[in-house]
Amino acid sequence: KKADTGKPRVALVMKSLANEFFKTMEDGAKAHHKKNSDKYELSTVGIKDELDVAQQIKLVESMIAQQVDAIVIAPADSMALVAVCKKALDAGITVVNIDNKFDAKTLTSRNVQIPFVGPDNRKGAQLAGDYLAKKLAQGDKVAIIEGAPNSFNGIQRKLGFEDAMNSAGIKIVSSQTGYWETDRANKVASANIIAEPELKAILCANDSMAIGALAAVKSAGKTDDILIVGFDNIAAVQRALKDGDILCTVDQHADQLAVFGIDYALEMLGKSGTPQDQETAVDLITAETIKRP
Amino acid sequence: MTDLQTDIAFSLCGITKSFPGVKALSDVTFDLKTGEVHALVGENGAGKSTLVKIIAGIQSADSGNMLIKGKSYAPPGRKDAENCGVRIVMQELNLVNNLTVAENIFLEKLPSRFGFVDYPKLNSAARRLTQQVGLSIDVNAKVSQLGVGQQQMVEIASGLSQKCDILILDEPTASLTDKEAQLLFAQIEKLKTNGVSIIYISHHIDEIMRISDTVTILRDGQLVSSHPTNQLNADQIVSKMVGRNLEHSTLRHNTETGPVVLRVEGLTRGRKVRNVSFQVHRGEILGIAGLMGSGRTETMRLIFGADKPDSGKVYLHNSSTPAHIKNPRHAVNNGIALLTEDRKEQGLLLPLSISKNISLAQLSKLCRFGLIRNSEEKQVAADFIDKLSVKSSSTEQAVGNLSGGNQQKVVIAKWLYKDSEIIIFDEPTRGIDVGAKFEIYQMLDNLTKKGKAIIVVSSDLKELMAISDRIAVMSDGKLTAEFNSNDWSAEKIAAAAFSEYIN
Amino acid sequence: MKKNASLPRWMTDYCGMAAVLVILLAIFGSSARNFFSPATFRMIASQIPDITILAVGMTLVLIIGGIDLSVGSVMALCGAVLGKSLVAWGVPLPLAIGACLLGGLVCGALNGLAVITWKLPAFIVTLGMLEIARGATFLVTDYRTIDTGTTLEFITETSFVGIPLPFVIAILIVALGQLVLSKSIFGRYLVAIGTNEEAVRLSGIDTRPIKVGVFALCGFLAGLAAVIQTARISSANPNVGVGWELQAIAAVVIGGTSLMGGRGSVIGSFFGVLIIAILSTGLDQIGAEEYVKRIITGSAIVAAVVLDYYRNRLSNNKN
Amino acid sequence: MKKNASLPRWMTDYCGMAAVLVILLAIFGSSARNFFSPATFRMIASQIPDITILAVGMTLVLIIGGIDLSVGSVMALCGAVLGKSLVAWGVPLPLAIGACLLGGLVCGALNGLAVITWKLPAFIVTLGMLEIARGATFLVTDYRTIDTGTTLEFITETSFVGIPLPFVIAILIVALGQLVLSKSIFGRYLVAIGTNEEAVRLSGIDTRPIKVGVFALCGFLAGLAAVIQTARISSANPNVGVGWELQAIAAVVIGGTSLMGGRGSVIGSFFGVLIIAILSTGLDQIGAEEYVKRIITGSAIVAAVVLDYYRNRLSNNKN
Ligand SMILES: Nc1ncnc2c1ncn2[C@@H]1O[C@H](COP(=O)(O)OP(=O)(O)OP(=O)(O)O)[C@@H](O)[C@H]1O
Ligand SMILES: Nc1ncnc2c1ncn2[C@@H]1O[C@H](COP(=O)(O)OP(=O)(O)OP(=O)(O)O)[C@@H](O)[C@H]1O
Ligand SMILES: [Mg+2]
Ligand SMILES: [Mg+2]
């Protein structure tokens, strides 16, 4: 069932193509493919935002229709995509899960096995939270700005932040969604700052929201009092990290995430047997780690 | 006929109705006999439409009561009135443009089977009705494709579509030509013999004299008199309406016309306007006569640039090069004004005030530093309200709340304020009362004295013969004849109007 | 002359859109791999039923001169109700589906009632409902996707002569919608209200129940779409349907329905849905970049209505 | 009598909304901590200028009976152009701002031109532009946030007697907008076109340049909003402004502008923006759950227009 060229065809099904993080992921995959163009063919597709589950199902179906050999998917919903991925498996397609882990219960209830290759978001968030905790004292007050409701990664990161704060005895006074957006986060952060004058830090579930929180802190004139934590290590926060405006962020190597998945899929194509999950690295990024070459 | 008591089909007593700023009706009382045509006359804004709307359940009275065949009657809505046997054809068109003629005629009672419209039945019933009123069009045509006159006839057909005991006709002939009016009178005659009572509103006194049995006269919302028609003559009716005697200075003998200011050559658009040529001089009134749908309105719209002609040229001020009038703005800039026949759809900004409607075409004159001077604007409006005796509560009253005739006066005021050189009036006196008509004739006369060139399109032949210097006649899109005041007669004009339809 | 006038009318009404479809198919057929495979068409048939059903409801609402911005949220809410009743509350399937449809009907009727009671613009009422229904969805689902397992799979797996049940339902609804619109008294009143509501009211027809009815119907259809949509993704996702209202409106307008009311066609809307579906499937299959997709989709929406303008001019000139 | 009629008119026009504001302030003042602090008002003043400016443009577009769904995307595109010119292309600041404003003007003018050339509904044209401008934004930014550093900070940091520059600009635009609308010929034409375009055309006024002008102005204001928005978050985000068009429309309609055209007020829109801003700030400050926020926001949007209905009835009865 190989394509005319004889090379395996891998489809990378993304959660969103209109977002920096996923763009980096896609670019990484493309760069990898360029280097290894003799080994496989790659097509990348994605939905316009992370909300349109039905559209992503369509994409998987359309990949099944095109009879690709492997699908590497960052599912927009950890349950809703399981059924269609099962269809792909039934059609003899290799499926690898990246970025957003499928719900374990759903997988077992449908009796499918799809390996997850990716970072542990909760662990990453905890790393950042622990680093922040060192700068704070017990009983200090912080706020969390969450990702979009129902987003698996958003929930994991929130949980990671909470783990760190709880173990350090720091109080979370507010936890509201910023929908991953800069502007929304800016407004929530501004409100937090006013509602809680002793606020010491804002933990944001991604860097776009950290940028919004930073703007809020600046306009409130509290740059020295409130620390900001982000996630993803995007290009736009590099300056803020260096200047210490943002305390730290977490790098889960977006450019490599898809590549790990593709590699794993290619590896699996040759083999049979029960695939295992594979965890990838998450690193804490601070002003110091940046300055290090 | 039995005794007098049972003869009364309907009576109303002490009807009073106020709107913000106006008392439209005060204490109106009269009886309607079975099988009579009861005419309701009065100046614009006298309250005629308001009164019949109350009878038809469209508006409710502030006080007073009504009786139908001795039983108390206070319809909360039009449907209830219809259930009591009262139907109305309203003054303003109320048709659904996107539906067919047949659907419009039977809108409230579409024949159906299992919730689905029974089209064969609907169309044959509609065809019968349109033939009765003399409307020779496809009942499957959309109403939006009809001219105003034809739409008026659809309204009439709709009014006749169901059986009723009392039929109200509010200015049904305002945009009909004589031919259609005659057919309507025949229908009215037939209904009368079937015992239907008819309330008939019109500004045409001759019609009233001809078809009505009783005339009730309203002035400023009050009942002035109610008499059998044969006890009155036309002059008496008019003087009771306006509350004074009108001097008749109707005929116009202004032979002093200047050079040609507008020359139309070979104007053509589809079948509706075919190779029309004519010219108008300074200080002259050119009347345009023709049957309904003969293309008069279309021709005027072409001259004004509201529609694009297929071919033909318009020359202005004796120039030998044709004027480039591509849109109404060019026309207005070239000193042409057009009073459209459909004031509601094309002439007025109904929710806006009188003053804003009058100033619309000439705002730059009211401006200083790019800002409109409101006091000046109101002053201008007040002057015109005075000059044209527009019945209104203030210059800031919404035009939509004025009576039909007064709305027409506002449109006229807008163009008078614009002060163009060539003014085209399409049915300028549609819905205007006798008194005001004479004022408008007077005004037209004054305009010619100022050297304006005027074209008047009218379905009222008598009116045209009274005010025009020349009359051009259109028939089925062609200009078939031109008459001077010394050689025209109603017969000749009618013959020319029919000429293209015969054969 | 009558025959002459009505035949081209019918043809020009849809042949413009059919032409667009053919062009799209030709473009993608030649540029996307395996585009002309039965799988592509099976996929489209399985994917458009929900949006088609929404578009039918939207067509009727637009025809009376209204708009319903809440269909996407209401669909999500109905799906949530369905999922929650099945999974958490253990309600039997027919009852759960009934609750789902009823939920849609109620949301729609509330829209309609607000519109007639306070004479509010439908735009703002349904914008409010968009937020409220989404909030209610979050409340019902606790922001989490509800896995409905295999309970609803029978819906997508039943098929008639190879045509999946949802597609059959959608086609039936389109046919029924068109029939009601063009032949029934209710349908005629919709057109009449959209053209000149005052005239209809003055004819002694109470327009209010008709308006409430249309909004309720639109909500009910959103409930039906929710059943199909939930079955298709085997789960009730609280974020589903965001932006679907605009997609439905775009399809309906491409299909020739006027946003000003008074003119429209359900079959046209179906063509509109097809055009958008094929465009988006095709762009996905050729693997176009997101920005390219956006620009092409936007241009295509405008181009389709521009085409309609020229088609109208053409057919008017012929007459 | 004339005086009597005009004084209450003026007062009732805005006092309904002022009452809503007072109620909101009272509720949040008693439930949110530190709500009545200067910081809250400074924050609101720093956050509403961009949406206020969008709302002014939207008001004018709605008054002519149009709509502009593209303002959010166009703002994002303008921001992207600004950020990219500053950071990647090293364009001097005034030029970059000029390019940003020009970009908005061009997008708006294109909307207007499409509307008049093909007589299309503004809804569908601007829906197309919504997609196209977003696509163009992705193209310009390559989907990435552009950090504008401190270049634009002077905009947010300049202030006059304690009032930040963006707020001053927004207030000026509101005042100017209201003046133009109620006193200038252009403004009068807008109202007239929204009331009965055909009558305006037949009064010898070419409505087409006016319509293009309004859309262009709305686009230009989106560009201006982009400058302020980019300065506020010190970066150009390609996903900014999603859904802002509906937010702006909601504010404008709450402010008493009719979606049918012909009636509206810029000052009213400003009140509408304030109501929505205070509602959302208040809900953020009390830390309400997301579903509560949604339900309250939706209900408040509808409630505000319902209130307007009763206010109108009240003031009509008084006359
Ligand atoms: N809805 C309304 N609001 C305010 N005033 C109104 C309203 N309807 C009618 N009027 C006023 O009531 C008066 C009577 O109007 P009506 O339409 O009954 O006059 P009419 O006799 O039919 O006149 P015409 O011959 O011009 O049709 C007029 O002064 C008019 O301005
Ligand atoms: N918009 C339109 N679409 C199709 N046909 C039209 C339209 N407007 C007018 N007509 C038709 O064109 C013909 C000429 O109409 P026009 O209004 O110019 O005639 P008219 O002489 O002014 O008569 P009327 O007394 O009806 O105003 C009529 O048969 C009319 O039905
Ligand atoms: Mg009248
Ligand atoms: Mg005419």
The most confident of the ranges A147-156, A270-279, C97-106, D34-43 is: C97-106
Distance, in Å, from the CA atom of C139 to the CA atom of C204, rounded to the nearest integer, reads: 44
**CATH number for the domain harbouring residue D269:** 1.10.3470
| CA–CA dist B249, D18 (Å, integer) | 60
| Amino acid D3: pLDDT | 38
CA distance C319 to C88: 62
Lowest-confidence pick of A272-286, B195-209, C66-80:
A272-286
Distance from CA of A125 to the nearest CA of D (A): 22
Measured between CA atoms, how close is B278 to chain D, in angstroms? 23
Q: Do C2 and B96 touch (CB under 8 A)?
A: no
Q: Which two tokens stand for residue D131?
A: 């997609």
Domain regions of chain B by residue span: 8-242, 258-335+422-432+453-503, 343-419
**C2 pLDDT above the threshold of 60:** no
B96/C192 touch (CB, cutoff 8 Å), yes or no? yes
Average pLDDT value for residue range C162-170: 91
Architecture in CATH of B258-335+422-432+453-503: 3-Layer(aba) Sandwich (3.40)
pLDDT of residue C285: 77
D280–chain A Cβ distance below 8 A for any pair: yes
Q: How far is the CA of B152 from the centre of ligand 3 (A)?
A: 15
Taking the C-alpha atoms of C41, C42, C45 and C47 in order, what is their torsion angle to the nearest 10 degrees? -100
The answer to whether B195 touches B166, Cβ cutoff 8 Å, is no
Is residue C22 assigned to a domain?
A: no
Q: What are the tens digits of pLDDT across the range A30-85?
A: 999 999 888 899 988 888 777 778 788 888 988 888 889 999 999 988 888 888 89
Alpha carbon A259 to its chain's center:
14
Q: D-chain residues within 8 Å CB-CB of B360?
A: 188, 192, 200, 203, 205
Query: Which pLDDT score is estimated for D151?
Result: 86
Of A62, A78, A105, the CB nearest to C281: A62
Q: Atom 12 of ligand 1 has which residue's CA nearest to it?
A: B24
For chain D, give the mean pLDDT: 89
Q: Which pLDDT belongs to residue A269?
A: 84
User: Rounded to whole angstroms, how far apart are CA atoms B139 and B125?
Assistant: 10
For position D10, what pLDDT does the model report? 52
Is A9:A69 a contact under the CB 8 Å cutoff? Answer: yes
Distance CA(B297)–CA(B312), nearest Å, equals 16
Q: Give pLDDT, residue C317.
A: 53
Q: Which of D141, D159, D139, D152 is nearest to D45 (CA)?
A: D159
How much is the pLDDT for B501?
73
Beta strands A248-251; A283-286: pairing state:
antiparallel
Give the per-residue pLDDT at C61.
Answer: 97
Asked if residue C28 belongs to a domain, the reply is: no
Q: Check whether D83 has a pLDDT greater than 60.
A: yes
Alpha carbon of A289 to those of A243, C224, D20, D66: distances in Å? 13, 55, 52, 54
pLDDT band for position A251 (cuts 50, 70, 90): very high
Mean pLDDT of chain C: 88
**Residue position matching structure tokens 């932006």:** C243
Ligand 1 center from residue B346 Cα (angstroms): 20
In a domain, C35, yes or no: no
**A113: Cβ contacts below 8 Å, ≥ 6 apart:** A107, A274, A275
Cα distances (angstroms) measured from residue A227 to each of A170, A172, A236, A249, B231: 14, 14, 18, 12, 99
Maximum Cα–Cα distance for chain C, whole Å?
64
CB contact D4 to B (< 8 Å): no
Specify the ligand 1 atom closest to the Cα of B91.
27
B389 CB less than 6 Å from ligand 1? no
CB neighbour list of residue D133: distance below 8 Å, 6 or more residues apart: C298, D70, D73, D74, D76, D77, D107
Residue A289: per-residue pLDDT: 85
Alpha-carbon radius of gyration of chain B: 23
How far are the Cα atoms of A168, B106, B144 from residue B100, in angstroms, in the given order?
A: 78, 10, 9
Read off the pLDDT of each residue in D266-283 and give the average, rounded to a whole number: 93
Distance separating alpha carbons of residues B443 and B434, to the nearest angstrom: 14
Q: Is residue C77 part of a domain?
A: yes
CB-based touch D/C (3+ pairs, under 8 A): yes
In chain A, pLDDT over 70 holds for what percent of residues? 97
In a domain, C175, yes or no: yes
For residue B247, the model assigns a pLDDT of 55
Distance CA B226, CA B268 (A): 51
pLDDT bin (cut points 50, 70, 90) of residue B5 is very low
Residue B144 sits at the chain D interface (C-beta within 8 Å): no
Biggest CA pair distance of chain D: 64
pLDDT tens for C292-314 read 989 999 999 898 888 877 877 76
Q: Do the beta carbons of residue C251 and residue C269 sit within 8 Å?
A: yes
Q: Pick A176's closest partner by Cβ from D32, D237, D287.
A: D287
A and B in touch (3+ CB pairs within 8 angstroms): no
Residues B216, B39 contacting (CB under 8 angstroms): yes
Q: Note the pLDDT tens digit of each residue in C129-150.
A: 999 999 999 999 988 888 887 8
Residue of D nearest to C290 (CA): D135
**Amino acid found at D232:** R
Angle between helix D122-141 and C290-318 (nearest 10):
150
ipTM for the whole complex: 0.88
In chain A, % helix, strand, coil (3-state, to 5) comes to: 45, 20, 35
Least confident of A136-150, B238-252, B382-396: B238-252
pLDDT > 90 in chain B, percent: 33
CA triplet B59, B65, B70: central angle to 5 degrees? 120
Residue B39 scores a pLDDT above 60: yes
Q: What residues of D are in contact with residue B303 (Cβ under 8 Å)?
A: none
List the beta bridge partners of residue B18: B23
Range list of H helices, B99-233: 101-105, 119-133, 148-160, 178-193, 205-211
> Is B115's CB within 8 Å of C192's CB?
no
Which of A27-31, A75-79, B147-151: highest mean pLDDT? A27-31
Span C212-237, average pLDDT: 94
For B80-128, how does the pLDDT look when each residue is reduced to its tens digit (9 = 90+)? 898 899 999 988 888 898 899 999 999 888 888 888 888 999 999 999 9
Domain count for chain C, please give it. Answer: 1
pLDDT digits (tens, 9 = 90+) for C237-274: 888 888 899 999 999 998 989 888 888 999 999 999 99
- Dihedral of the CA atoms D109, D111, D114, D117 (nearest 10)? -50
Going by C-alpha positions, the residue among A161, A156, A151 that lies closest to residue A203 is: A161
Q: What is the mean pLDDT of residues C35-47?
A: 79
DSSP D182-215: HHBHHHHHHHHHHHHHHHHHTTT--HHHHHHHHH
Q: Subunits touching B (CB < 8 Å, at least 3 pairs)?
A: C, D
Question: Residue D49 belongs to what domain range?
Answer: 43-311
Residues near ligand 2 with C-beta < 6 Å? B 145-150, 175, 272, 290, 292-298, 341, 459
What residues have CB less than 8 Å from B229, skipping those under 6 apart?
A: B39, B208, B209, B212, B213, B214, B215
Are C302 and D128 inside 8 Å of each other by CB?
A: yes
Q: How far apart are CA B442 and CA B70, in angstroms?
A: 48
CATH number of B8-242: 3.40.50.300
Is the CB of residue A119 less than 8 Å from the CB of residue A280? yes
pLDDT band, very low/low/confident/very high, at B433 (cuts 50, 70, 90) = confident
DSSP B323: P
| Cα–Cα dist D99/D91, whole Å | 10
| A223 neighbourhood in chain D, CB within 8 Å | none
CB B338 within 8 Å of CB B304: yes
Residues of D in contact with C129 (CB under 8 A): 298, 302
Asked whether the beta carbons of residue B371 and residue D183 sit closer than 8 angstroms, the reply is yes
3 state SS of B224: strand
More confident residue, B503 or C280: C280
Interval B390-407 mean pLDDT: 88
Please report which confidence band the pLDDT of residue B255 belongs to, taking 50, 70 and 90 as the band edges.
low
DSSP string covering D232-274: HHTEE-TTTTTTHHHHHHHHHHHTT--TTSS---HHHHHHHHH
Per the listing, tokens 């039906």 go with: C224
Dist. CA C104–CA A135, nearest whole Å: 52
pLDDT of residue A158: 94
- Going by their DSSP bridges, the two strands B86-89 and B37-42 should be labelled as unpaired
